Structures are given as C-alpha cells and as structure tokens.
Amino acid sequence: MTDDRRDRIRLGALIGVHMIACCLSLVAVAYHRISDDLKLDKFDLKPDKFHIYFDPSRWYVAVAVVVVFAVVALLLVRANFSFGYFVGFYFFTMVLGYLWLNCFSGRNYDHWIGALSAVASAIVFLLPALFITSPLRQIHALTAKSFDRLLTCLLVLGIATVAIGAVYHFKLVRLEDMNDHRAQLDTPIGVNYLLAMVSTALLPFAFAGFVVTKAHRRAAVVLVLLLLFYPVTINKTALLTPLWLVGMLVLSRVFEARVAVIVSLLAPVVIGLVMFALFGKLAAPYFDTVNFRMIAVPSVALDVYNDFFSRHDLTYFCQISFLKPLMHCPYQEQLAVVLKKEYDLGNFNASLFATEGIASLGTWFAPAAAFVGGLVIALGNRLSAGLPPAFILISGAMLPQTLLNVPLTTTLLTHGAALLFMLWYITPRDIFERDGASTAAMNASCSE
C-alpha cells in the first residue's frame, strides 16, 4: 500500500469519527433542554425553540441518512488542501448536521426535498471548491520590503479601527449579559463594516504575515488588538478570534493541512461533549458557544429557511443591499430581521446555502447558487495558489466560520473576503522560498 493511499484511508477514518461526534453532539443538545437544574436559561441553549430534537424510535432513519451522505466525504478524501478544502469541510459539517436534525424536525415543509437539495448543494459546491486550484499568473507581486510595509499598515489600521470603535462603545460585559448590551449599540454602519473587515480578514492576514516573517512581537500585538474588539462590538466571535488564530497556528504545525482542518472542528466538539458529560451545568458556557452555536445553529438555519420560504415569496437575490433599490423586493427589512419576527430566534443570518440558495431560488434550485458559490471559493484557491498551506490556514482562519453564518456576498464585501483574496494574490511567494527555516516552521506538517 502506498503512503498516499494510507494517508487517504486515515483521512477518511478521521472524517468518519468527526461525523459520529457531530451527531452525538446534536443528540446531547437535544437532550439537555432548559431546566432549573441546569440553569441554562442565562445562555442561548434552547433546543425546543430551535426545533432541535431527537426521537430514539427514529434513530435508524437518521443514521441511514448520514451513512448515505458519508459517500460525499470521498470528495474530501480525494482532494488536496486548498482554501476551498477549508471552507468545504465546514459546509460539509453544516449539511451533515441539517440532515440529522431534519429527521426529527417538526417544521412543516417537505423534509425529503429539503434533504435532497442540501446534499445536491453540498456536492455541487465541493466539486469546484475542492478541485479548481490551478494558479493565476501573478501580474503584480509585492517585494519582501513592500510586504513588510503592508503588514505594518494593516497593524496601524487595526489600532485605528479599535480606537474609532471605542469612541462609540467600549465596555467589558459578561457573556450572559452580552445580548442585552449588544442591542443597545448605536455604532454607524460604516464603522461596523470597518470592524468586521479588519477583524475577520485583515488582522488575521497580518498575524499570519508576522508569524512567517518572525516578527513575533507584532504578531502578539495583533492578538491583543483582536481581544480589544470584544468590548467594542460585544460579539462572542471577537472574543474567540485570537484563540482561534493561535489554535490554527498550533494545528498547522502539528498536522498535515487537511487533518488540521478536520481537527479544528472535531476537537472543540469532542471537548464540549466530554465537558458536558463530566461537569453538567458548569460546562454550559462552552457547550453553548461550541456545540450549539458553532455546530448546531448553522444547520438549524437550513431548517428554518426551508420552512419559511416554503410558505413565503422568494427574494431572487433582492436581499443583497446593492440590488434591492434596482428590483422589486417582497421584504423591505433584512432577512435576518424578517426571520427574527417570524421565529423569535434573534437576528438569524445564515450561510449562502440558505440565503443565496433557499431564500433566493427556493429549495429546488438552491444547488445552482451553491455551485456559483463554489466557483467563487475556487477563485480564492487560484489567487492563493503557491502559498504555504499553513499561511492560508492562519490568514483565512475566520472565513469558514463566517461563511457558515453570513451570506457569501456579505462575507466578500462586508467581512473582507474579497480583500483577503487580493492580498493572497499579491503576497510574494519568494519570501517563503528564500526563508527556508521559516517555511519549514510554517509548513512542515502541512505540505501535501
């Protein structure tokens, strides 16, 4: 047996373990409902409200659906690492969760059509996102000196962004009080866009750049800056971003890139299951953040969007801000607000599978939107081709999580994904070639 075949078998086995862990996590979320004993009402874990159920008499149906869907994992086993692999695995996990929850959901729509649409969307997204990876010729690339100046400019921009945001709000609050305080924020839209773009794309890119150029002090400053985004935005993601970047840095140095991607989700899920089993209510803050919010909610969004748009008008992309003034739109408010009023689940943003897919084109034609989304991610592959996998993992660490919860168009523009693609494109590849020690440190375990 060749080493490559052996590696792929191990990769497939690891994905299988991940699928089992995710299903067990959803069962745990369903069983640990709100009770006075667990005192979870201070957090967001409300399985009944989100229709997260588990019926022991129908477990075999859910298992059968998941086993069939496991065939799609062969695409992940066959593909080499790319940015699309990173995003694709997270979307694979989201669809897996939806298929499991779909077997027990009580919402009133055709669940079998919803399941087939989700599987088709996953396949047509993964095909371009995983396998279109050929590099685009660099018309312009920065010199090593210019690259260092760019990183410094991004650091300065980060400092300025925190300072501007702090003018409108800067207060440390407890996690359980976060929603109440965030509802009182009155930050201008332009500042919100700047905060999202800098924290999601620009500072992670700067952090990865400082790591590869061994500017460790400036890399540490980036992490501190990212922590300061929490009292400005009162957003749990801002609090976790520096931890996530450091975690991806560690994983990229320990594992091959594809394994690092899988472990980046598998490890948090397993930790949450173990903590909840051992510590009960004491684990609620972690379990709510990871097993519920990070894993379950993006899957629930597909259930909610299928239910709502089975009974309401489709948007035909009119929810995109720059298209709304140009076309008739049945919804004058943002979709997140519309769904908040309908389901009382908070501002319910969702991935491109739900927004550009189900909401815009309906369940039957949602895979068409997923395919176009896969092509966009494939463009990211081509613009980042030639960069070390570890550099892509770290600089793009926040995008897969963002794409699980935010439409693709919003991620590209508001959260800076398009800017990050361009930064990847102009990053000089020769800095990795000349600095052999740095390249080895960044990429020893991530090379294909």
What is the structure's pLDDT at 181? 64
Would you state the pLDDT for residue 445? 44
Q: Which of 404, 399, 401 is nearest to 421 (CA)?
A: 399
| Contacting residues for 390 by C-beta, under 8 A, at least 6 apart | 249, 252, 253, 257, 442, 443, 446
Over range 367-381, report the average pLDDT. Answer: 98
Could you give the CA distance from residue 162 to residue 66 in angstroms, rounded to a whole number?
A: 44
Quick one: average pLDDT of 375-398? 96
Whole-Å CA distances, 400 to 19, 140, 274: 18, 27, 25
User: Are the CB atoms for 270 and 22 separated by under 8 Å?
Assistant: no
Query: What is the three-state SS of the chain?
Result: CCHHHHHHHHHHHHHHHHHHHHHHHHHHHHHCCCCCCCCHHHCCCCCCCCCCCCCHHHHHHHHHHHHHHHHHHHHHHHCCCCHHHHHHHHHHHHHHHHHHHHCCCCCCCCHHHHHHHHHHHHHHHHHHHHHCCCCCCCCCCCCHHHHHHHHHHHHHHHHHHHHHHHHHCCCCCCHHHHHHHHCCCCCCHHHHHHHHHHHHHHHHHHHHHHHHCCCHHHHHHHHHHHHHHHHHHCCHHHHHHHHHHHHHHHHHHHCCHHHHHHHHHHHHHHHHHHHHHHHHHHHHHHHHHHHHHHHHHHHHHHHHHHHHHCCCCCCCCCCCCCCHHHCCCCCCCCHHHHHHHHHCCCCCCCCCHHHHHHHHHHHHHHHHHHHHHHHHHHHHHHHHCCCCHHHHHHHCCHHHHHHHHCCHHHHHHCCCHHHHHHHHHHCCCHHHHHCHHHHHHHHCCCCC
In the chain, where are the structural domains located? 3-138+250-443
Q: Is the pLDDT reported for residue 235 higher than 60? A: yes
Quick one: pLDDT band at residue 321, thresholds 50, 70, 90?
confident
Predicted confidence band of residue 205 (pLDDT cuts 50, 70, 90): very high
What average pLDDT does range 90-117 have in this prediction? Answer: 95
User: Token pair for residue 232?
Assistant: 């400005």
Q: Inform me whether the pLDDT recorded for 2 exceeds 80.
A: no
Cβ within 8 Å of residue 378, ≥6 positions away: 84, 128, 129, 132, 133
* pLDDT tens, residue by residue, 405-446: 999 999 999 999 999 999 999 999 988 875 544 444 444 445
Structure-token pair, residue 60: 């075999």
Q: Which amino acid is at 23?
A: C
Provide the percentage of residues in the chain whose pLDDT is more than 90: 67
pLDDT exceeds cutoff 60 at 230: yes
Determine the pLDDT at residue 177. 65
Looking at residues 119-131, what average pLDDT do you find? 98
Supply the mean pLDDT for the chain.
89
170 token code pair: 């800067």
Q: Which tens digit of pLDDT belongs to each residue from 268-320?
A: 999 999 998 898 778 888 888 899 989 999 999 999 999 999 999 999 999 88
pLDDT at 120: 98
Q: Residue 323 pLDDT > 60, yes or no?
A: yes
> pLDDT for 37-66, tens place per residue?
334 443 344 556 788 888 888 899 999 999
Q: For the residues 179-204, what does the mean pLDDT come to? A: 86
Whether residue 1 has pLDDT greater than 80: no
- Contacts of residue 234, defined as CB under 8 A and 6 or more positions apart, other chains included, come to 169, 171, 173, 178, 181, 182, 185
Q: For residues 137-143, give the mean pLDDT.
A: 89
Q: How confident is the model at residue 180 (pLDDT cuts 50, 70, 90)?
A: low
What pLDDT, on a 0 to 100 scale, did the predictor assign at position 362?
96
pLDDT at residue 33, as a whole number: 53
pLDDT at 35: 37
pLDDT above 80 for 369: yes
**Contacts (Cβ under 8 Å, ≥6 apart) of 345:** 49, 50, 304, 339
- What is the per-residue pLDDT for 39? 40
Q: What does the pLDDT read at residue 219?
A: 96
What integer pLDDT is reported at residue 41 of this predicted model? 40
